[in-house]
Amino acid sequence: MNISVIGSGYVGMVTGIGFAELGNEVIFVDIDEKKVDTINSGKAPIFEKELDELIQRNRNKYKATKEYNIIADTDITFICVGTPSREDGSIDLTFVKSAAAEIGKVLASKDMFHAVVVKSTVIPGTTEKVIKPIIERESGKEAFKDFGLAVNPEFLREGNAVHDFFNPDRIVIGVRDKKTKEVLETLYKPFSCSKLITDIKTAEMIKYASNAFLATKISFANEIGNICKKLGIDAYEVFKGVGLDHRINPAFFRAGIGFGGSCFPKDIKALIAKAEELGVNPKILKAVIEVNEEQPLKMIELLKEHIPDLKGKRIGILGLAFKPDTDDIRESRAIPIVQKLIEEGANIIAYDPEAMDAFARMFPQIEYASSAEKVITKSDAVLIVTEWGEFNELNYKGKIVIDGRRVEKAMKEAGIYEGVCW
C-alpha cells in the first residue's frame, strides 16, 4: 500500500517506518525542514531505541518532504501531528486543522478514493465536527463517499515505541465508511492482536479513557505511597500484594514522583476541560492531576529533612527525560524539581544520557555534567528523577540520595537514603 504520514514526531515516525518494514511505501510530510532533511539522510529525528536500524533497513521504502501534493499518490493518509494543551487545559487543534486543510486541498484534484485516518489524540467529536468539515470545504468533496475518514488511536509508549508498534495489545479503528474499513483491515492484516471496530467518537474516547485510567492508577499508587511513607511501610511490597489480585493487575503501580510526558498530563487536562464544557464535574480526573503536581515536590521536602537550607548547596539531578529511554522532556518531573531548587538558591548539577540538550534550552542557567559519576562526586546530595538503567550501576556509597524512582543500588548503598513512597 502507498501510505502518507503527516507529522514525523514520535508517533508519525514510528508508525510510518513500521508500515514500511511491513512492505508498504511511505511518504512522511512534515512542516519542519530540519526533520525532513534528517529523515531523508537516513536518520531518526528523535531518540527511540531500534528506530535508527529500522530507518536504515527501509531506506528505499520511504521519503520525507514538506510538500503535501505528494499525498495524492498515496491510498491512505495518517494524521499524526501534535495536539498540545492550551493554557486552560483544553486541546489545541491548530496543527490538526492546518493538516486537514492541506489534505483537503490535495484531495480537491484527486479523482480516486482516498482514506484519511486520524492517529493524533483528539477529543471525542473532533474528527466529525472539526476535521471533516475542513476537508470537505477545502476539497469540495463529501466525506464517507468521495473520501474516507476514520480514527485509529495510538497506544505506543515512548522508549518502547518500535516494540509497541509491532506488538500492540489491541488495534482500535473508529470508522463509518466501508471502503476505509477495508483499507485499514488490509493494512493491519499482519497484526494478530484484538482488533476493535467502533464508531468514530467511541474510538476517540477509548484513547482518553485508557490514558485517564493509567494516570489514575499512578496517582492512586502515589497517594497510597504517601500514606505508606508516613507509616514506615514500603509501598512496593504493598502493591506486590495488591497486584496479585487478577481483577487489579500489577502494572503501573510504581509509586514515585508521578507521570510526565506529552500525553498523560495533556490528555487528562483536555478531558477535564471537555467534561466541564459539557456540565460534568470530573472529580477523580482533577484529583489525579492534583496528586501528580504535588508529588515531585515531595523530593525537596525529603531533601530538606537532611539539608534544611539549600542556599549555595550543590544538588545533583540524575535524569531529566520524562522517563528512561527517551530524549523527551515534555512535562518531565525534573522541571518542577529544578524550578523549586533554583528558587531555594541551590546550585544544580544535572545529567541525563539523552535529554540534556533539550533541558539546557529550557534551563541554560544550571550546570550539566558529562557523566552521572560526576554528578555524584560533585554534589552534596543527589536526587534520582528518571530511572535510566545506568543509574543502577553507580557508586552511591556515603551520599545523601533522595530517590523518586526506586533505584535498587542507591537503596542498598547510599549513606542517607530516602525513597519518596517507601
Per CB under 6 A, which of residues 344..403 are in contact with ligand NAD?
none
Q: Give the burial class of 190: count Cβ atoms within 10 A of its Cβ; 0-12 exposed, 13-18 middle, 19 or more buried.
A: exposed
Helix, coil or strand: residue 361: helix
Q: How far is the CB of 114 from ligand NAD (least distance, A)?
A: 17
Is 80 among the residues that bind ligand NAD (CB under 6 A)?
A: yes
Alpha-carbon span 307 to 415, nearest angstrom:
14
Is 29 among the residues that bind ligand NAD (CB under 6 A)?
A: yes
Alpha-carbon span 181 to 184, nearest angstrom:
5
Q: Which of 156, 171, 173, 273 binds ligand NAD (CB under 6 A)?
A: 156
Nearer to ligand NAD, 269 or 298 (CB): 269
Is 30 among the residues that bind ligand NAD (CB under 6 A)?
A: yes
Nearer to ligand NAD, 24 or 120 (CB): 120
Segment near ligand NAD (CB under 6 A); pick from 28-36, 235-243, 357-365, 404-412: 28-36
Is 55 among the residues that bind ligand NAD (CB under 6 A)?
A: no
Q: How far is the CB of 121 from ligand NAD (least distance, A)?
A: 4
| Residue 296 DSSP label | G
Alpha-carbon span 121 to 79, nearest angstrom:
10
Going across the sheet that includes 314-318, the strands are 367-368, 347-351, 314-318, 381-384, 400-403, 416-419
Annotated catalytic residue within 80, 228, 263, 421: 263
Is 154 among the residues that bind ligand NAD (CB under 6 A)?
A: yes
Segment near ligand NAD (CB under 6 A); pick from 24-32, 127-135, 163-171, 373-381: 24-32
Segment near ligand NAD (CB under 6 A); pick from 9-17, 234-242, 303-311, 314-322: 9-17
Is 82 among the residues that bind ligand NAD (CB under 6 A)?
A: yes
Nearer to ligand NAD, 156 or 291 (CB): 156
Per CB under 6 A, which of residues 157..196 are in contact with ligand NAD?
158
Q: Which of 32, 234, 367, 373 binds ligand NAD (CB under 6 A)?
A: 32
Alpha-carbon span 43 to 265, nearest angstrom:
29
Per CB under 6 A, which of residues 93..122 are in contact with ligand NAD?
95, 98-99, 120-121
Nearer to ligand NAD, 180 or 326 (CB): 326
Alpha-carbon span 161 to 156, nearest angstrom:
5
DSSP symbols for 38-80: HHHTT--SS--TTHHHHHHHTGGGEEEES-GGGGGGSSEEEE-
Q: CA end-to-end span of the chain, whole Å?
A: 52
From residue 97, alpha-carbon distances to 214, 265, 328 in Å are 28, 22, 25
Alpha-carbon span 78 to 52, nearest angstrom:
21
C-alpha cell of residue 356: 540534556
Nearer to ligand NAD, 32 or 373 (CB): 32
Q: Which residue is nearest to ligand NAD (CB)?
A: 9
Binding mask 223-262 for ligand NAD (x = CB under 6 A): ---------------------------------------x
Alpha-carbon span 225 to 405, nearest angstrom:
12
Nearer to ligand NAD, 210 or 347 (CB): 210
Count of C-beta atoms within a 10 Å radius of residue 124: 21
What's CA 304's distance to the chain center, in Å?
A: 31
Is 6 among the residues that bind ligand NAD (CB under 6 A)?
A: yes
Is 326 among the residues that bind ligand NAD (CB under 6 A)?
A: no
Is 12 among the residues that bind ligand NAD (CB under 6 A)?
A: yes
Give yes or no: 263 in active site: yes
Nearer to ligand NAD, 24 or 121 (CB): 121
Q: How far is the CB of 50 from ligand NAD (least distance, A)?
A: 15
Is 81 among the residues that bind ligand NAD (CB under 6 A)?
A: yes
From residue 369, alpha-carbon distances to 84, 197, 240, 299, 319 in Å are 31, 49, 36, 21, 11
Alpha-carbon span 71 to 352, nearest angstrom:
38
- Tell me which residues are annotated as active site: 263
Task: By CB under 6 A, name the binding residues for ligand NAD.
Answer: 6-12, 29-32, 35, 80-83, 95, 98-99, 120-121, 154, 156, 158, 262-263
